[in-house]
Amino acid sequence: MTTTNQQPIRLLGLAGSLRAASFNRALLRAVEDLAPSGVEITTFDGLGALPFYDGDVEAAGEPISVRSLRAAIDAADAILLVTPEYNDGTTAVLKNAIDWASRPPQRTLAGKPAAVMGASVTPGGARGGIESVKRSLRRAGSEVLDDQVAVPSAANAFDVELHLADPLIRAEVAELVASLAARARGSAAEKLAA
């Protein structure tokens, strides 16, 4: 965990879409360009390799892919999850990752600052997916920011090369990342003072 304001804040990004050309993966890539100075962004691209949560699999020994996910979350000061909306909820792969990372005894997500964004081709802006991720993270004990970024009609926000082009949404993303970094710094300071 970061111990001073001079050390960089490490944010881990998780995209809930496995499709290479997804708007949500593109939204996560935009974070790397928009992050303020002093914030390092890494992404975990192994969600598709996680087995579906199964107590029998867990009892037999945590799979390597799950250990990799937990290690990536542990190494981060905060996490940023990006989700599409499937039937008013998040994707199976993202929910599955949250389920694995919330399991005791490690409960990797507990106390971890988190923020959520989402993009959808519909006017709703993936709000159902965003809310379902926030609910799961709160249940897992994460410190979830109330703020979020919801990108409606995503085809209008990105250019043909999937770069986030909409200036208002770019500003929202930059503000959310700055808020998440500030929360991570505050959380680290509270833990040091305890």
Measured between alpha carbons, how far is 137 from 116 in angstroms, rounded to an integer? 10
Q: What is the mean pLDDT of residues 156-179?
A: 98
Q: What contacts 193, CB < 8 A, 6 or more positions away?
A: none
* pLDDT on residue 137: 98
Domain 9-188: CATH superfamily is Flavodoxin domain (3.40.50.360)
Coil vs helix vs strand at 150: strand
Encoded tokens for 117 = 């964004």
* pLDDT on residue 194: 64
Peptide bond before residue 152 is cis, with ω within 30 degrees of 0: no
AA identity, residue 177 = V
Q: What is the mean pLDDT of residues 159-174?
A: 98
**Does residue 48 have a pLDDT over 70?**
yes
Measured between alpha carbons, how far is 22 from 7 in angstroms, rounded to an integer? 33
* pLDDT on residue 3: 44
CA distances to 60, 82, 88, 170 from 125, rounded to whole Å, are 40, 12, 11, 15
Please tell me whether the overall predicted TM-score, pTM, comes out greater than 0.75 for this model: yes
* pLDDT on residue 191: 74
pLDDT in tens, 2-33: 444 468 999 999 999 999 999 999 999 999 99
pLDDT in tens, 56-114: 999 999 999 999 999 999 999 999 999 999 999 999 999 999 999 999 988 999 999 99
Q: Decide: residue 44, CB within 10 A, 0-12 exposed, 13-18 middle, 19+ buried.
A: middle
* pLDDT on residue 193: 73
